[in-house]
Amino acid sequence: MKKHKILVTGGTGYIGSHTSVELIQAGYELVIIDNLSNSSEKVLSGIESITGTKPEFIQLDMRDEALMKQVFESHPDISACIHFAALKAVGESHEKPLEYYDNNLKSLLNLLKFFPEHHPVKIVFSSSCTVYGNPDELPVSEQSPIKPAMSPYGNTKRIAEEILQDYVSSTKAACIALRYFNPIGAHPSGIIGELPQGVPNNLMPFITQTALGVRETLQIFGKDYDTPDGTCVRDYIDVLDLAKAHVIALERILNKNQETNYEFFNLGTGKGVSVLEMVNHFQDVTAQKLNYKFAPRRAGDVPSVYADTTKANQILGWKAEKSIAETIANAWKWEMNYRKQENHEK
């Protein structure tokens, strides 16, 4: 059977690269587009060493209409798209809201606008638990109301989902929005992983960088939340488990198995882990001592968010499989490999 050709936007990024590996291993042919604003072309060699295949890559900014048009003209056989490309730093989005709206929404609009006319748009979209804001009930199910966004970044995800819903309802397009909780971890090979630019905002890379001495001390933001140990609770989902869910969602669209043309699913483990528990797990798994101290609450943090994953379990047949220990071990392996390689190149 001829392989489907899949467009992966943001495919050199963190989640995009892990999903690309899974897609290649599942037999898909890929065209990756990325402007490398938050990733490196070296990731393509990483994907190649894991899979034995170097995917086709086009460096472009998705806001550029002419270039997006060209992608589809030169690849009329693209069957579907997984759309990861976006700016994702919550704090930065407060400083540069227009940049976030421009980047994240124009990229989506161009994708929809230039998708080949001869077959309807099929798209898996990277959404986020951020669309639920500070939820009234835990765990958060897909029935939980969409709340006003707590950041311009979060608002781009809410608006993008609305654009997709409107588009799907007026065309023959099909879409699955995947609402990720907190993705962490790396490929077990240690060859690809998360590569934040500058000081990491997210907990896991801050922990691994602190353990290696790249950062001096981890600050735990807030110790007086209404949670079992006073620190915030999140649902940390392994990036490879997440990647596998994309392959399942893609196949659901391609095989026309959807119940409705716009579907959305939570992707998490269903288990809440506190910041302090995460620090303790890290110390246990890696036998590293972590310098940490308590600091004031971080603006915009909600006390507790974790997913009800029943819908994804039952309808997609997907379930997070990796243990937190495995996920932390992979994140640690990746960080050590990356720093070794970086020192080697200096």
Active site residues: 153
User: Distance between CA atoms of 150 and 250, rounded to whole angstroms?
Assistant: 29
Q: Which is nearer to ligand WQD, 124 or 203 (CB)?
A: 203
232 interface partner picked from ligand NAD, ligand WQD, none, CB below 5 to 8 A per type? ligand WQD
**Cα 185 off chain centre by:** 11
Binder of ligand WQD out of 61, 142, 301, 326 (CB under 6 A): 301
Residue 11 one-letter amino acid: G
Q: How many residues bind ligand NAD (CB under 6 A)?
A: 26
CB 225 within 8 A of CB 234: no
What are the beta bridge partners of residue 221? 295
Shortest Cβ 160–ligand WQD spacing (Å): 11
Mapped onto helix, strand or coil, the DSSP state of residue 307 is: strand
User: Distance between CA atoms of 336 and 340, rounded to whole angstroms?
Assistant: 6
Residue entry with tokens 């608006």: 159
Shortest Cβ 267–ligand WQD spacing (Å): 11
User: Distance between CA atoms of 9 and 1, rounded to whole angstroms?
Assistant: 25
Residue entry with tokens 């690269």: 17
Near ligand WQD in 144-183, by CB under 6 A = 154, 182
Residue 212 one-letter amino acid: L
Residue entry with tokens 């938050």: 38
User: Distance between CA atoms of 205 and 184, rounded to whole angstroms?
Assistant: 8
User: Distance between CA atoms of 112 and 257, rounded to whole angstroms?
Assistant: 21
Shortest Cβ 114–ligand WQD spacing (Å): 25
Asked if residue 298 binds ligand WQD (CB under 6 A), the reply is yes
12 interface partner picked from ligand WQD, ligand NAD, none, CB below 5 to 8 A per type? ligand NAD
Selected range binding ligand WQD among 53-61, 97-105, 216-224, 243-251, rule: CB under 6 A: 216-224
Q: Which is nearer to ligand NAD, 36 or 254 (CB)?
A: 36
Q: Following DSSP, what letter does each residue of 204-215 receive, concatenated?
A: HHHHHHHHTTSS
Q: Which is nearer to ligand NAD, 135 or 230 (CB)?
A: 135
Asked if residue 205 binds ligand NAD (CB under 6 A), the reply is no
φ, ψ (nearest 5 deg) of residue 140: -85, 115
Binding mask 68-87 for ligand NAD (x = CB under 6 A): ----------------xxxx
**Cα 35 off chain centre by:** 17
Q: How many residues bind ligand WQD (CB under 6 A)?
A: 19
Binder of ligand WQD out of 85, 87, 168, 220 (CB under 6 A): 220
Widest pairwise Cα distance in the chain: 58
Residue 256 one-letter amino acid: K
63 interface partner picked from ligand WQD, ligand NAD, none, CB below 5 to 8 A per type? ligand NAD
Binding mask 111-150 for ligand NAD (x = CB under 6 A): ---------------x-x----------------------
Measured from the Cβ of residue 241, the count of other Cβ atoms closer than 10 Å reads 20
Please report, as ranges, the residues that interact with ligand WQD according to CB under 6 A: 88, 90, 128, 130, 154, 182, 201-203, 206, 218-221, 232, 234, 275, 298, 301
Please report, as ranges, the residues that interact with ligand NAD according to CB under 6 A: 10, 12-16, 34-39, 61-63, 84-88, 103, 107, 126, 128, 180, 183
